[in-house]
Amino acid sequence: MKDDNCIFCLIANGQIPSNTVYEDGDFRVILDISPAAKGHMLILPKEHYANIFELPEETAKKVLPLAKKLAAAVKEAMNADGVNIVQNNGTAAGQTVPHFHLHIIPRKEGDNAMPLWTPGESVPEEQAQIAEKISKLMK
């Protein structure tokens, strides 16, 4: 399903022009319009899925192999030292466009292109409880 009010549906399906890096039957890969670093790309499914929770498993299975190829290509193209793969779900997690997308961001040593999280504290008993709670939901 496509959503005519969704900018990424319109871009992914070629109704709005973009700097396209790659396209197949399932995805369009574009350059981000406000890149964290030169070569910052977005993998967009052509169908509308708001986030990872809505993404069908068969589409999900294709995303990481594509990201792997793009990461290698952009590393070479931009002479990068590293690559971040980022994917936000929900406004609390920083998602601003509610159409699933994966960011691929080439990085140079010391470029400060992306803030990393602040490492927190962990309490052993709490860690064990959290692990058990999540683990139960995986069954």
* Residue ranges binding ligand AMP (CB under 6 A): 7, 18, 30, 32-34, 42, 88, 94-97
Among candidates 90, 9, 73, which has minimal Cα distance to 39? 73
Out of Zn ion, ligand AMP, none, what residue 89 binds, judged by CB under 5 to 8 A for its kind, is: none
| 48 touches Zn ion (CB under 5 A) | yes
Out of ligand AMP, Zn ion, none, what residue 99 binds, judged by CB under 5 to 8 A for its kind, is: Zn ion
Q: Is the dihedral of CA 113, 107, 11, 3 positive or negative?
A: negative
Which listed residue (40, 48, 101, 103) is catalytic? Answer: 101
Q: Residue 31 CB: number of other CB atoms within 10 A?
A: 15
Please say if 101 is a catalytic residue. yes
Q: What angle do CA 8, 58, 7 make, to 5 degrees?
A: 5
Q: What is the biggest distance separating any 2 CA atoms in the chain, rounded to whole angstroms?
A: 53
Q: Give dist(CA 28, CA 8) in Å, integer.
A: 10
Q: Quick one: which segment of 48-56, 64-72, 75-83, 130-138 binds Zn ion (CB under 5 A)?
A: 48-56
CB of 110 vs ligand AMP, minimal distance in Å = 22
| 6 touches Zn ion (CB under 5 A) | yes
Which of residues 47 and 103 has its CB atom nearest to ligand AMP in the complex? 103
Q: Give dist(CA 51, CA 39) in Å, integer.
A: 23
The catalytic site residues sit at 101
Binding site for Zn ion (CB under 5 A): 3, 6, 8-9, 48, 99
